[in-house]
Amino acid sequence: MYQQLRNLSDKELISRARKLKDREAEGVLLERYSHLLVAVCLPSFRNNPGTNPQTLFPSLLQRLSNSLKTQTIQKANEWIHQTIKSYFANPEKQVPYYPSRDARDQLHTENRVEKAATNTIEKQALIAQVQKALSGLSTEDRFLVEQFYLENQTFTGLAAQKGYTTEKVRQLLKKAKSRLAMQLTNQTYVR
Amino acid sequence: MSDNFTHNEKLLKIFAGIRCLNKDQLPRYLEGRLTDIEKHLVEQHLVDCDLCYEALQSLQKEGQMEQYQTLSAGIQQYIRDSIKPVSQLQKMERYIRKSKKRESLLIYFWVVAFIAGGGAGLYLMQEYNRNKPVMARPAALPIVPAAAMSTTPPPDSARHQEASLADKSEIPVAAAPRKDTVKAAPPAPQKPAADSIVVTRAAPTPPAPKTEDSVKKPATAANTPKEEKEKDTPATTVAKTQAPPPATPPPAKPATSTAMDTDEFLYKAAMVYQQQGDLNEAISRYKRLTSNTGRVGELARYQLGICYREKKQNGRARRMFKEVVRMDGSMKQAAQQALDNL
């Protein structure tokens, strides 16, 4: 059963944990992200030496578990990241997870792409829309997107080419992608 | 063209959903041990995923890797430990709930089956009681004692018959439990029709062999098919089944009682049909007897009236009772009362 659960997607695990109150599914989901949780929390141990991992992780996991039962989760990684951030900002207060407008646009476009994977006509239409949206981006954004996604350039390669840091390249790419998703969503609504 | 299409198809890569870095990929990416494709996929994911990017940033700092390994193993163990017992408990609970549900379903099934069975039984009982042959309850209809019928003279002379019927005005008509018939029938010792038929049928023939022969022969000669038909009627079968042993003959029967008139026989057969609830058959048989102007005819008319009344054909019933009243026989009073009640 455990192995079968491990093969399920995040969405399915969340659904099982919520609807069937399946603790095993919840465990598999949290275990899937546990290493990232630990890695993200590591700087806090160094910054606050008094922080005890024996109390921090159980309380964080408990908060995630509670949140899983009550909130609508579109993307598990975003949900976990936001929960960790809010926990460190204010450990007493439980801030509900709510995806931003950018995240929602992106999710919407991702879903469309996933749906069009087996439909050639839909795929062609979507490609045309992406091209149109891409032409609406600024020259730099378009250059970065094309180099990264079409020419398979790496962060370091692009950073070296443009003279930016990798962090900056990532930020620029993220913003360009977000704008692209927003334009695609707007196109859909206009259509 | 196809190259252009593949190039264009790459555009959809921008929005391809890629999973977060797993436990193996994370250190391998940091150590630069990923293939070019793998690395590009990870970087594509890193564009969106703040969690993975922060995790990588955190681990890139020196001295974090060891702590990460221990804490990561610890938290995984913690999650497994906290989930497992609960999971076992959950399984147990589920099993118990399932078995309870099965048991309760079984109980419901038996309860429903019992109720349905009981209901069906009651319904069948009611139906049986409603359609039960009146043989089982002999006093259900006004019955003319067989003795009265059996004492009717043989059909050799109409005068004899009339005389005997006139005499039989003293012979009591069996009282019926119905309101009007109870009132109509004069008080008399009751005898079930079936029994009376049996008595007449089972009566030993030796005392008057000659008369019986003399009576039966012409009857059989004239009405052989009729008799054959009537032999199969329920009256005869009932009589056969309920016939007492021939060793106990009825006390002191007149010789005329052994002789069975065809009309009497018809009348009795019709009575049996009426008692069994087959009113149509009874009516058709009674109708054949209406040509008889004697006692049997009067009784047949009276019973016809009762049959019609039971069939809610009050007009016909009234006509029959009026005819009986007009005949001024022994059933006059009963018919008059029935007319009043109609």
Query: What is the CATH number for A118?
Result: 1.20.140.160
- Enumerate residues 6+ apart whose C-beta is below 8 A from B196: B143, B145, B146, B147, B149, B150
Judge if B276 and B309 occupy the same domain: yes
- Of the residues A13, A31, A36, A188, the best mutation for testing chain B's interface (the one with the most B CB atoms within 10 Å of its CB) is A36
Judge if B185 and B245 occupy the same domain: yes
- Of the residues B2, B11, B77, the best mutation for testing chain A's interface (the one with the most A CB atoms within 10 Å of its CB) is B11
Give the pLDDT score at B93.
Answer: 85
Judge if B76 and B36 occupy the same domain: no
Mean pLDDT of the residues in chain B: 70
The domain tally of chain B equals 3
Boundary-marking domain end, from A89, A122, A138: A89
Give the pLDDT score at B4.
Answer: 58
Q: Each residue of B159-191: b (16+ CB within 10 Å) or e?
A: eebeebbeebeebbbbbbebebbeebbeeeebb
Give the pLDDT score at B191.
Answer: 41
Q: Cβ of B15 and A113 within 8 Å? A: yes
Residue A86 has pLDDT above 80, yes or no: yes
Q: Which amino acid is at B126?
A: Q
Judge if A78 and A28 occupy the same domain: yes
Please tell me the distance in Å from A180's CA to the nearest CA on chain B: 9
Q: State pLDDT tens for residues A28-63.
A: 999 999 999 999 998 888 888 778 888 889 999 999
Boundary-marking domain end, from A64, A89, A114: A89
Query: How many other C-beta atoms can be found within 10 angstroms of the C-beta atom of residue B154?
Result: 21
Residue B254 has pLDDT above 80, yes or no: no
- Enumerate residues 6+ apart whose C-beta is below 8 A from B185: B142, B172, B173, B174, B175, B176, B334
Higher pLDDT, B208 or A60: A60
Judge if B82 and B14 occupy the same domain: no
Of B9, B26, B79, the CB nearest to A27: B79
Q: Which amino acid is at B42?
A: V
Of B46, B68, B82, the CB nearest to A42: B68
The interface predicted TM-score of the complex, written ipTM, equals: 0.91
Boundary-marking domain end, from B131, B158, B173: B131
Judge if A109 and A57 occupy the same domain: no
Distance CA A12, CA A182 (A): 27
Q: Which amino acid is at A128?
A: A
Residue of chain B whose alpha carbon sits nearest to that of A156: B43
Give the pLDDT score at B196.
Answer: 41
Of A34, A78, A134, the CB nearest to B72: A34
Residues of B in contact with A81 (CB under 8 A): 49-51, 54
Higher pLDDT, B173 or B121: B121
Is residue A38 a part of any domain in this protein?
yes
Judge if A137 and A73 occupy the same domain: no
Judge if A108 and A148 occupy the same domain: yes
Give the pLDDT score at B214.
Answer: 41
Give the pLDDT score at B110.
Answer: 95
Judge if B167 and B253 occupy the same domain: yes
Distance CA B114, CA B118 (A): 6
Judge if B199 and B245 occupy the same domain: yes
Rounded average pLDDT over B149-153 = 45
Of A27, A39, A110, the CB nearest to B55: A39
Residue A6 has pLDDT above 80, yes or no: yes
Judge if B54 and B85 occupy the same domain: no
Quote the domain boundaries for residue B108: 66-131
Q: State pLDDT tens for residues A159-189.
A: 999 999 999 999 999 999 999 998 888 877 6
- Weakest mean pLDDT among A21-35, A89-103, B229-243: B229-243
- Of the residues B7, B24, B41, B43, the best mutation for testing chain A's interface (the one with the most A CB atoms within 10 Å of its CB) is B43
Higher pLDDT, B281 or B139: B281
Could you say which DSSP state residue A97 is in?
Answer: P
Boundary-marking domain end, from B131, B162, B182: B131
Q: State pLDDT tens for residues B19-39.
A: 899 988 888 998 888 898 899
Q: Cβ of B15 and A127 within 8 Å? A: no
Of A53, A61, A174, the CB nearest to B71: A53
Quote the domain boundaries for residue A119: 101-190
Higher pLDDT, A131 or B223: A131
Please tell me the distance in Å from A148's CA to the nearest CA on chain B: 8
Residues of B in contact with A113 (CB under 8 A): 12, 15-17
The domain tally of chain A equals 2
Boundary-marking domain end, from B131, B158, B174: B131
- Of the residues B3, B4, B9, B14, the best mutation for testing chain A's interface (the one with the most A CB atoms within 10 Å of its CB) is B14
Q: Cβ of A53 and B74 within 8 Å? A: yes
Of A53, A77, A114, the CB nearest to B52: A77
Q: State pLDDT tens for residues B158-190.
A: 444 444 444 444 444 444 444 444 444 444 444
SS3 sequence of chain B = CHHHHHHHHHHHHHHCCCCCCCCCHHHHHHCCCCCHHHHHHHHHHHHHCHHHHHHHHHHHCCCHHHHHHHHHHHHHHHHHHHHHHHHHHHHHHHHHHHHHHHHHHHHHHHHHHHHHHHHHHHHHHHHHHHHCCHHHCHHHCCCCCHHHHHCCCCCCCHHHHHHHHHHCCCCCCCCCCCHHHHHHCCCCCCCCHHHHHHHHHHCCCCCCHHHHHHHHHHHHHHCHHHHHHHHCCHHHHHHHHHCCCCCCCCCCCCHHHHCCCHHHHHHHHHHHHHHHCCHHHHHHHHHHHCCCCCHHHHHHHHHHHHHHHHCCCHHHHHHHHHHHHHHCCCCHHHHHHHHHHC
Give the pLDDT score at B6.
Answer: 60
